[in-house]
Amino acid sequence: MTNTLLETSGLTKRFGGLTVMNDLDFRINEGEIKGFLGPNGAGKSTFFNLITGVHMPTSGHIFYCNEEITKYRPHKVAAMGIGRTFQLNPLFGDFTVFENVTTAYHLRPHSTVGQAFFGTKTYHENEKYIEKSADEILEFLGLDHVRNELAKNLPHGYQKILGVARALATKPKLLLLDEPLGGMNPEEIQFSINAISKMRDKGITVLVVEHNMQILDILDSVTVISFGEKIFEGTPEGMRNDPTVISTYFGGAV
C-alpha cells in the first residue's frame, strides 16, 4: 500500500491579473520519484514556491503528511521535512563546499542558540556528527575532492550538485529538485541521474522539475502542466505517447 505524502487541491496562484497556476490537483506518494514537467513558463517553479511557502497561493490547499501546510513560511516547511533546490542555484558563496553543507544541518540535529553559545556537550556531539555526515553526503554526490573550495568558485554543474547536497543535509522526507540537470555537461548529467535514482534507496521521495528528457528513465510517474493547468498524469511511457503532451510540449515538431 502506498501512502500519499504531499497533496494539493485546487491550487491557484495569480500575480496581478496573470494566472500562473489554475486549480491544480496533485499528489505524490511516499517513496516515489516523480517528474513535474512542462514547457517554459508553465508554472513549475511557481509550484515549488507555493509548496515551500515562498509565495502564498491565491486559493487552494496543500497537505503534507495529512497536515495542512498551505500558509507555512519557508523555514517551517523545511522543518516539516521538505528539502529543495533552486533553479538559479543561489548558495552561500563565501563559504566552502563543506561549510555550505554543515551550515545546512540546521534542523536535524538542532542545537539551540543557548547550547551553541555555551558549547554544551550536546552541541559538541552534534557538531561532530554533522562533520562526519556532511563528508558522507559530499562523497555520495562526488563533491569530496572540492570540499575546501569556495562555493562561488565552483563550475556551474558542481554548484547544482552542491544545491542537492545542501538539501540532503536537511534530512528531508520529500526532496524538491528544480531543474537539477540544467546547464550540466553530459558526464555530469549521467552522474546526477544516477545520484537521484539512488535517493529511493535512502527512503527519500523526490519531485523533480526538469526539461531534459533523459530524466524520464528513472521516473515512476509524471505530471505535465501547461500554462498552469494539468494536461497529463501517468507513467513516463504513457506521457511519451500522449497526443496532448506531444502537441503542447514538443510543439509541431513531432
Residue ranges binding another protein (CB under 8 A): 52, 54, 73-76, 78-79, 83-84, 86, 90-95, 99, 102-104, 106-107, 111, 113, 116-117, 119, 123, 127, 166-167, 169-170
Q: What are phi and psi of 51, to 5 degrees?
A: -60, -45
Provide the minimum distance between the beta carbon of 107 and another protein in the complex, in angstroms, as a whole number. Answer: 4
12 vs 221 by CB, closer to another protein: 12
CA distances from 92 to 100, 123, 159 (A): 6, 23, 10
Shortest distance (Å) from residue 61 CB to another protein? 21
The closest alpha carbon to 181, from 154, 151, 211, 152, belongs to 211
User: CA nearest 231: which of 12, 56, 3, 22?
Assistant: 22
Rank residues 13 and 226 by Cβ distance to another protein and give the closer one: 13
Helix (H) or strand (E) holding 33: strand 33-37
Of 99 and 229, CB closest to another protein: 99
Name the residue nearer to another protein (CB basis): 56 or 136: 56
For residue 231, the minimal CB distance to another protein (Å) is 29
Radius of gyration of the chain (CA): 19
Query: What gap in Å lies between CA 127 and CA 102, rounded to an integer?
Result: 9
Extract the C-alpha cell encoding 2: 502506498
- Going by C-alpha positions, the residue among 214, 234, 245 that lies closest to residue 254 is 245
- CB of 3: closest distance to another protein in angstroms? 24
Least distance from another protein to the Cβ atom of residue 238, Å = 32
Grid cell 528513472 in the structure block, residue? 218
Phi, psi of 56 (to 5 degrees): -95, 135
Least distance in angstroms from the C-beta of 15 to another protein: 9
Q: Which three cell numbers stand for residue 232?
A: 497529463
Which residue, 117 or 250, has its beta carbon nearer to another protein?
A: 117
* Separation between Cα atoms, residue 232 and residue 115, nearest integer Å: 50
User: Which residue's CB is nearer to another protein, number 57 or number 83?
Assistant: 83
